[in-house]
Every structure is written in C-alpha cells, then in structure tokens.
A and B are shown apart, each in its own frame.
Chain A
Amino acid sequence: MNILELQNLKKYFATQKAVDDISFTIKQGSIFGLLGPNGAGKTTLLRMITGIFYPDSGNIIFNGKHFDPVNDIVNIGYMPEERGLYKKMKIGEQALYLAQLKGLSKSDALQKIKAWFIKFEMETWWNKKVEDLSKGMSQKLQFVTTVLHEPKLIILDEPFSGLDPVNANLIKDEIFNLAKNGSTVIFSTHRMEQVEEICDHIVLVNKGKKILDGSVSEIKNQFKENVYRLGAPTSAHNLMTYIFEVIKHQPDELLLKLLHNSTPNDVLKFFISQDVPIQSFNEVLPTLNEIFIQLVEGTPDARQFQTIK
C-alpha cells in the first residue's frame, strides 16, 4: 500500500520554479531516499508534504486520502535540516511540549519520552537546558521529538549531520526499527553512501524536476556501464582483443569494459583460452555517488534565477 502519492506537484516562487511537476509514490514501511544537489527543491517538496506550504497545483494523497494538513499532521514527524529547539527551555519540558503539540496527552507523552530517554541514555538530561547540549546531543533530542508521537510518516532531512559514528549508528538502527514497525521514512540527504546503505527506494531531483526514480539496485543496473573487475595476473600481450577495453591495469587486477555486445562469458573464454589463472571476476556497478555526479554535472551548480510568468 502506498502511504504517500504525489501527483504533478508544482510550486513556483517569484524567481524560481522550486518544484516543477514532480510525481512519485512511497510504499508503507519503506525507507525512501529523496536526493538532490543543493537548491534542487527538496526542502520545498518536503514542506509541501508536511503541510507547511500549499502546492500551486497537483495532489498529495496521504494514506489513501487527499492530504489534509490539519488532521494528517499528527501522523507526520518532520526533522528539518536546520535543527531548531528552544534554547532556554528545559529538555524534558521541551520534549513534552512538542509531543503535546502533536496531539499526545500529557501522561502518554511523559511515558513515551521516558522510554526514549532511557533508550538513548538521556535520563540525566531532563532538567538541563538545550543551550547546555553539544550539537550531537541536541541532534539526538531532535530525533526523539520527531518520532515520539509514533508518526506513520517520518521525514528526516540530513539526520546524520554532526553526529559521531557511534551516535549515527544508534540513529540508523532506530530508523531501521521504525521501518520494521510499519513507519515509513523519507530520508533527504546528499550523502550517497548512507543512501546506498539505508534506502529501499530513491528519487533524485534536480532543478525542481524528478530525474531518477527506482530502487537502488534497479538504478545501479540502469546506469551500469558493463565494467568488470578481473582478479588475475596479466601482462600487456594478454590484452590484445576487441571484446573489451582496459580501463585500469594493475599487475594482478584488471578493470575492463565490454565492447561490441560481448558478454562476460566471452571475456572469461578469452582469458581461459590464454591460460591465465583467474582468481575472481565480478561486475562493477556504479556507486550512487557516480550516478549522482554524472546526472547533475553539466547543469550549473547553483540554480539560476529566472522570472516566472
């Protein structure tokens, strides 16, 4: 079942087409990656999904119904890229306040906060103020306040920035946990290695348009360039062939690209016939990082301002 469906969403600002006709769907319980370079329109898109902005045109279907910000907002947890907490407020009170604003009753909220604080080893923080916390600590707090009310849809904008590896792993495990328990996670970032590790499904936007949509393996296959890695000692006289071209040659490893519709079997036959001792042979798929750069490169880094009629 789809928790979220965007249909031809558009949002134009005075000088930019921030989101220009974007559609995609997100399955319930999946971890969805929303990728794009700076200024691609990710934040605007997320703000429309969280009901902060209204789209100029297009539909948002949330949980099978037309998205109604006033009522559906309790089912959404949003952690913006720029973290925000009241600096002078005590941490316990702050968590309670934000939870109550999401519609939890006081006793319910207290119980959940305590459980999370124990889980994240934050029990001693209750009476401290946010200004006493380090960046990573307030990040943890922000994460807790985002997921506290057990939203169906959790939107995390760069959740790992500023976290050390231990805490990043803590949060990552929680993200997997939440997804396993039926929450859907939208994950916005430009750190590709995290996306590869975590996300089931990704969408890449650039300049307000969707340019890529699919599962990580699908996309990698779509962008594969028939590059293979051969583990075998070879020398130059072994490589005189039209089946492939050599990308990188090391004494015991070879990076090659197939040519003229040849298949991996052709390559293996070729080397076997030469009696080369093969230790390993595998396909090299492009990393998301490479795909990302390949797709985004060539377009100007910063978006240009234009007049929208």
Chain B
Amino acid sequence: MNKIWLIIKREYLTRVRNKTFLLSTFLLPIVMMLFIFGSAFFAMSSKEKLKKIAVINDPGMFKFNLKGDSLRLAFDFISGIDSSNFFDKGYDAVLNLNNDSVTRKFTIHSKKQLGIDAQDMIENKLDRAFENNQLQQKGIRKETLDSISKKSNGAFSIENRLTSEQGKSKEVNAQLNYGIGFGSGILIYITMFIFGAMVMRGVMEEKTNRIAEVMVSSVKPFQLMMGKILGIAAVGLTQFFLWIVLIMMLSTIVSAFIPHELVQQAGEMNKNMPVGGNNAMVMKFMDVKQTVSAVNWLQIISCFIFFFLGGYLFYASLFAAIGSVINEDTQEAQSLMLPITMPIIFAFIIMSSNLNTPDSKIMVWASMIPFTSPIVMMARIPSGVPWPQLLLSMVLLIGGFLFTTWLAAKIYRTGILMYGKKASWKEMFKWAFRKS
C-alpha cells in the first residue's frame, strides 16, 4: 500500500508540476471568460455607431411614425435621393418604402452590410410605425394600449412541476436541464479521452524507456498500473477543482468591474425594445435565475465526480493495457485503441441524439451499461433519474471497472515486458484469460 502511494504521488506531482498542466488549467478558464466577454464587448461596441438612413416614402404613411433613436439609428425623410447617390450625401443606407406595401417587402441599399442586429431593429421600427399608424386610424391612443399591455404581459406564468415517486414535485426547466446534461456529458466524454490517453502515454513511456523492468523488480505490475491510473485521476480531479474555483473567481472579478456599463447598456436596450418583448425577456431572465438556483447542484456535482471517476477507471485500465502492448509505434496505438474509443464515441452519439427524451428506452439502457453509462447517465441526471436506476447504474459501473481492471492488469503484466513485436488480439486474449 505504501508503495502504491509513492507511485501515485510521483505520477501526480510530475504531471501537476508540468508546464502544460499549469497552462491548460489556468489558461482555459481565462480564455473562456475572454471569449464570452470579448464577444459581448464587440457586440456592444458595434452597436454604438449611429447609422444615418435616408428614407424614401412618398405617400407618407411612415413619415410621422417612423422614429429613430439618438444612439443607433437616425431616419431622414428627404427627396431626390436614390441608391446611387445616398453615400455621397452622407447616409449609410437608403430605405425605399415605396415599392410594395402589399407584400410589405422593402429594400434597403447600403454600401456595407447592415448586420442582422441593425436589420432587426429597422424592421422593428417599421412594425411600431405601422402599429402607431393603425392605432391613429382606429382612434386608439397609444398610452391606453401601453398600459393594457403592461398589465397583461407576464401577468400569468406556467410552471411545469414533475411528480416523482415520493410525491414531491419539483420545478423543471427543460432547456436548462438539456444544457447541464449536454455540458456534463461532453465534459465526461472529453476528459475520459484526455486522461485515458494520458494513462496510455505514461505506460508507453515506461515501456519504451525500459524503466518498467526496473520498476517491476521493486513493485508488482498491478501496483505500478494502479498507481499510474489513480495518480492521473487525482490530476483530473485537481484540474476540475481548479477550474471551478477559477471560474467562480473570475466571474466575481469580472462582474465587479464591468457591471456598471453593462447594466446601463442593458437598461438602455430594454428601453428601446418594444414593451412586450422587454417584459418577457426580464421574466425569462428571472425564471432562469430561479431555476438555476433550484437545480440540485450538489447532486449533479457529486454524480459528476462519481461518473467521471467511474468512467475514467473503467476505461483507463484498458488504455493502460493497450499502452503496454505497443512498441513505440503510434500507428499501432491507433489501430489498437479503436475498439476502446468506439464505445465512448458511441455513447456520445446516443447521448447527443436522444437528449430531448432522457427517459426513452435507449437512454435508459445506455445509462445502465458501463461502456456507455458515464456519459449517458450524466446527461440524464439533471432531468431526474429514479433512484433504483441510478443505484443500479452505479453498481454496474463499479463492477465494470473492477472487471476491466482485473482483465487489463493481466494483459499489462505480460505486455509491459514484451519487446520487439506487437501483440495480436488473440495473444492479448490468451494473456487475459490464462490462469496465473
């Protein structure tokens, strides 16, 4: 036990001290944050430019109703302008509202592409203008309509409560569950590959460096293999932990620095939005905030750690066995890895294509079989899994990794000291099932 601990310590420390580990651990959250806030920043800054748009509207239905705002859009109703000379007269675009008021399809000419945002905004303004025009014609005052819609919008809401066996009901937000499930499924998928490959490379290194023979004259091959697998598992957990801490830290820092302008901007945007949409957005935000805090994060995180470890242990020993039969040739590695990577990819495909129906037959089955369960079960957990199913899946996974470890250890023990030729599947099968 003492020796296995020494091996775990070495495997862990050499990897954690490695520059690439530090880089990937600290850079990834920063890059992610930069990406999110950077794109938000660019989206914001691009809106700030005022666009001057010349409008051609001879009958004048829009003339008094189409109003720009001081920040982004300005409409000018002038004559003697067309798509050939608007730029020389200092306009960004020319909107022709004459051509067809039946199909309500208008054209706007510009030198540069307007962008979806601007186009949306112009369409929105046209709709409002049309609305105002209609209201005036029918004799309804705009203020009356506003006050009605203010009262009615968001006055009612529906909450989907699931009745589980215990008779308790809980709130669900299908979209959020979808997101969490998909996210954790992908994370398990990626980490299983990354850390599995790390185990394989470690074993290959020991074999090609010939250190394996020195090691197995001091420790049992099983200890050597398990030490490596557990050491790398600890590396993985450290990385997750650091990511969570870093993301939390960064988001508090970022929200401490940016919020002022952001909040203002958001407020401004809301003001310019149509009243109804605005309210709905706010309500939706509140909803998400509520459900995010209603999600059982403790359960999700603890299940995630369990299924990450379980799935990793299930596959890592197989990766170790593959690493032990390879001789320096990465081509060999690829062909031997295929039978191991296939079920992982298969699990990912099942997960991503059936995520909408987390209780369908295929999802239930796939979340039981240890080959696919870590990924698929993790995707199901946010939307609630009956306890017996969860328990069975966990027990099967533990049993599964005990079996694969036992099997892989036998291949590993022989493979690690075999040099010269690549082992065939037949030979590996023989090593695995012969009596020792």
Interface residues of A (CB under 8 A from B): 47, 50-52, 54, 70, 73, 76, 78-80, 82-89, 97-98, 100-102, 142, 145
Contact = CB atoms under 8 A, between A and B. Distances in A.
A84 B211 contact: yes
A84 B214 contact: yes
Given A89-B14, A101-B6, A84 B213 contact: yes
14 contacts: A47-B417, A52-B216, A54-B436, A70-B220, A78-B213, A78-B214, A78-B217, A80-B217, A85-B209, A85-B214, A87-B205, A101-B218, A102-B218, A145-B214
Interface string B199-226: 0000001100111111111111000000
Contacts of A85: 209, 211, 214
Contacts of B219: 101
Contact of A52 (B14, B206, B217): B217
A86 B216 CA distance: 14
B211 A51 contact: no
B3 interface: yes
Contacts of B209: 84-87
Contacts, number: 58
Contacts of A97: 6, 10
A51 B219 CA distance: 10
Contact of A80 (B3, B7, B210, B220): B210
Contacts of B205: 86-87
A52 B417 contact: yes
Closest 8 CB pairs of A and B: A84-B210, A84-B211, A82-B210, A78-B217, A101-B218, A80-B213, A50-B217, A84-B214
B430 to A, nearest CB: 8
Contacts of A101: 3, 6-7, 215, 218-219
B14 A88 contact: yes
Given A52-B417, A97-B10, A101-B6, A86 B211 contact: yes
A80 B218 contact: no
Interface in B390-436: 417, 419, 436
A78 B210 CA distance: 13
Q: Which of B211, B213, B218, B436 has the most CB of A within 10 A?
A: B218
Contacts of A50: 217
B213 A52 contact: yes
Given A97-B6, A97-B10, A73 B210 contact: no
B217 A100 contact: no
A73 B217 CA distance: 7
B6 A80 contact: no
Interface in B1-20: 3, 6-7, 10, 14
A82 B207 CA distance: 11
Nearest to B224: A101
Interface in B252-307: none
A70 B1 CA distance: 12
A301 to B, nearest CB: 17
Contacts of A82: 210, 213, 419
A207 B308 CA distance: 50
Interface string B313-345: 000000000000000000000000000000000
Nearest to A53: B417
Contacts of A98: 214, 218
Given A51-B217, A52-B216, A85-B209, 19 more contacts: A50-B217, A52-B213, A79-B214, A80-B213, A80-B217, A82-B213, A83-B210, A84-B206, A84-B209, A84-B212, A84-B213, A84-B214, A84-B215, A86-B14, A86-B205, A87-B205, A88-B14, A101-B219, A102-B218
